[in-house]
Structures are given as structure tokens and as C-alpha cells.
Chains A and B, each alone.
Chain A
Amino acid sequence: MWLWFHKLGSPKYFYTLAGKLIPWFGWITLLLVLAGLYGGLILAPTDYQQGESYRIIYIHVPAAWMSLFIYIVMAICGAIGLIWKMKMADIIASSSAPIGAAFTFLALVTGSLWGKPMWGTWWTWDARLTSELILLFLYLGFMGLQSAIVDRRTAANACAVLALVGVVNIPIIHYSVEWWNTLHQGSTVMRMDKPAMDTRMLIPLLLMWLSSQFYYGTVLMMRARNEVLDRERDTGWVKELAMEGK
């Protein structure tokens, strides 16, 4: 386990491993998306209250989950990068930020598209919406800080501190905003007893969630590979790769 962890910390090892994994992850993503969309858009029954428009959850809910998940990944990578000075952790954190921001944006857009027919408004200053918007600002701040600092190691460490401060702040924001009147419906999946959702609706949702995880993995590895090449361009193995024309 530790050996594997150490190996993964080496950019060269990561580069070859990710190169092999990307096609697998990509195809799994595609299969899961197709299965999830088929199940969600065709097989799942119509909601008795919301009609057909509830089907946007198959995009919205996974995107919202991923937006939080990726931020936590960034914070953990930031901590690893600060404590053990692992280069790969910095690379993963910096490659994750735009993906996370994209998922956050997607969750906001789909939510507002759904909100118009359901709530009669595109936007409302409700707890979830506001904290998701702030999450987007945190992502943008992270990316802004990263591009503002020229030196890579400094940028990575500064961003790691920011991500850690932000992750402390996320629950605070969430609960502080919760005290305003809340319009967004409560969670129907993450509950202590069984989910308050029909299984035929739940399974496609979980498939879509899995597919977004794999999508994140695929895109992350692609971005991280580019980043590795860019950072390691002065090393021997990258030059060899360039010579081979790969």
C-alpha cells in the first residue's frame, strides 16, 4: 500500500499509469452515462408532483455532489502537498479546480432551469443556492490565486492554504445560510433510513453519479498528465517522450 502510494507520487509513474487508465475510465463513463440516461429519461416513472421536469435531477444532483466532492479532494490534496511536499498532490489539486468549478456552474444552471417551472423563478436567495454560489466563488478565487502566482510551488502551496481555509468555511456557510427560509427541498437520498425515492428513479441517479465520478477521473487524469509534462519538461524522460514523438 505504502509502496503504491510512493510510486503514485512520482510524476513519471503517474504519467504512464494514467495513460493506461484513461481509455478504461472513458469507456466506463460513456457506458454509465448511457445506462443512467436511459434509465432516468425513459424507464423511470413520472413524478406525481413535479411531472416530467424532475428528470433534470439526473444531471443536477450528481453535479452538485461532485462540486462538493471535488472541493474536498482539493483540500485533502492541499494538505498532503503542504505536509509531505508531494508534487502529485499539488498537480491533482490544481487540475481539479476547473473541473469542480464546471460542476458547480452546471449544478447552478440546471437548478435554475428547473426552478423556473417549479418555483416560478430562476433564482432565489435560498440556503442551498447561495452556498453553492459561494462555492463557485471559492473555486474562482482558487483559480485566480493560482494564475496570479508565477512560481509553481509557491502557487500550489498558497492555493493549498486557501483550499483548507475554504473547506473550514463551507459548513459554516451552509449552516449560516440555512437559517434563512429554505425553499430547496431536503435530501431524499442521503438519509439514515431508506431513501425516500422510488428504486426505479434511484438507480439511474446512482448510475449518473458513478458516471460523473468516472468522468471526473478521466478528465482529471488527462489534465494532470498535461500538467506533469509541462512541469517536468526539463527532465530526461519527458525529453525522451518528445523525441519518440508520442
Chain B
Amino acid sequence: MNNTGLFTAFLTILKRDLTLAYRTRSEVVNPLLFFIIVISLFPLAVSPDPNILRKLAPGVIWVAALLATLLSLDSLFRSDFDDGALDQLLLSVHPTPVLVLAKVLAHWMVTGIPLLLLSPLLAVLLHLPTDAIGVLLATLALGSPVLSLVGAIGVALTVGLRRGGVLLSLLILPLYIPVLIFAANAVGNAAAGLIITGQLYFLAALLVLSLTLAPVAAAAALRISLR
């Protein structure tokens, strides 16, 4: 393992995590089912009126995406923590933030991308105008990696705790709020026919910020949790 390059290590972890996710398909599918069910509750609970649903749609889809991500986050480090693979990861010669980034990327590929692919269907169910659906996809494409990256910090902090689940939401949800505001705002504005470039730029900025800083923070948090 000593003479493998950094990039090879990155790809190895990515491939391993994707394989593991493929073997435990139900864990991957469950957050998605949760996403669909939560969204289908709103027309039942609030009102099936298309006008109301159209207004609620951006917020509802984003909140559901947020909660689904939160549910799926636990699997990011949990099994590796239980079987000790996480210790090996930290002992590796390669910089931990890069390895953490590989794990987060794998997590996003199995949760973020399916969410992205499902959301147009749900947007149609909620009567979101067709123009806004493209924007919804754009915000999800920019925003869901941020959710995975920031979430990784929270999971890394709570992975050693027996009952980290509820605490995780308390730690992570306040940090998700900027993404939620910009994304829902962009989709809402697009549905109303307003300009949205500002919000998209901000989402992109958040993505760059979390892409550079979150792996470092998550790696530091992992070292603390595993001490």
C-alpha cells in the first residue's frame, strides 16, 4: 500500500465504497423511498390544489431532499467505524482529507445523483412549471454535494457515539440552512419568471467553499472521534 499514488488510493476507496453500496442496495434505496413518501404526504396534508402545490413545490422538494440526505448520512462512516476500516484509513500514508473526499464522493454518487434523477418526476407531481424544473435540477446538482460534504463533518463528529442520530440532525440542519435558502429561492424565482443567476452563483460558491474546507474539517473530526 505504501507505494500507491494518491490518485490510485482515491480511486480505490471510491470503487470500494460504490461496491459496498451496490451490495447493500436497500440502504441506498431507503432514503430515496423516504424522499418520495415525504413529498407525497404534502398534497394529502396541505391541499391537492395545483396552485398551492406549485407554490410549495420548491420548498417541499428541497426540505425532503435535505431530510433524505440526513437519513443516508449515517451509512457514510458507520460500517467502516464498526469493522475498524476507518482506523486503517486514518493510518494511511495519504492525507486523510483526500480519502474522506473520496468517501463523500461515493456517498453523493449513491444518494445525491438518484435524488437528482427522481426530482423532475416529483416536480411534475407537484405541478411545478416546466421552466423551473431545469432550475430545480441545477440547484440540486450544485446543492446536494454541499449537503454530503457538510454532513460528513457532522457524521465524523458523532460516529463514535452510540445514539448519534438525533444529535446529528441538531448539528447539521443549522449548517444546511444557507443551501436551503438559496436553492428554494432560486427555484421559486424561476417559477415566477425572475432572474436566478445570483442564487446559482452563491450555490456554486458554497460548493467550492465546502469542497475545499469540509474534507479538512471532517478529517480533523474523525481523528478526534477515533482517539
**A and B: bona fide binding partners:** yes
Q: How many A-B residue pairs have CB under 8 A?
A: 70
Give the docked Cα–Cα distance between A116 and B3 (Å): 67
**Shortest beta-carbon distance, A15 to chain B, in Å?**
27
Give the docked Cα–Cα distance between A166 and B227 (Å): 23
Size category of the A interface is: 20 to 34
Partner of B227, one of A144, A154, A168, A179: A154
Name which of A144, A153, A168, A172 has the most chain B CB atoms within 10 A of its CB: A172
Stretch at the interface among B36-44, B110-118, B166-174: B166-174
Q: What sequence of 0s and 1s flags, for each residue 73-84 of chain A, a beta carbon within 8 Å of any chain B beta carbon? A: 000000000100
Q: Closest residue to A168 on the B side, CB-wise?
A: B213
Give the docked Cα–Cα distance between A162 and B227 (Å): 17
Q: Is the CB of A169 within 8 A of B178?
A: yes
Q: Closest residue to B199 on the A side, CB-wise?
A: A179
Q: Closest residue to A131 on the B side, CB-wise?
A: B177
Q: Please tell me if B91 contacts chain A, counting CB pairs below 8 Å.
A: no
**Shortest beta-carbon distance, A56 to chain B, in Å?**
27
Q: Is the CB of B158 within 8 A of A145?
A: yes
Q: Please, which residues of chain B bring their CB within 8 A of the CB of A166?
A: 174-175
Given contacts A134-B174, A148-B158, contact A177 B181 (CB under 8 A): yes
Given contacts A145-B157, A161-B224, A165-B175, contact A137 B170 (CB under 8 A): yes
Show the binding face of B for A, using Cβ within 8 Å.
150, 153, 157-158, 160-161, 163-164, 167, 170-171, 173-175, 177-178, 181-182, 185, 202, 206, 209, 213, 217, 220-221, 224-225, 227
Show the binding face of A for B, using Cβ within 8 Å.
82, 134, 137-138, 140-141, 144-145, 148-149, 153-154, 157-158, 161-162, 164-166, 168-169, 172-173, 176-177, 179-180
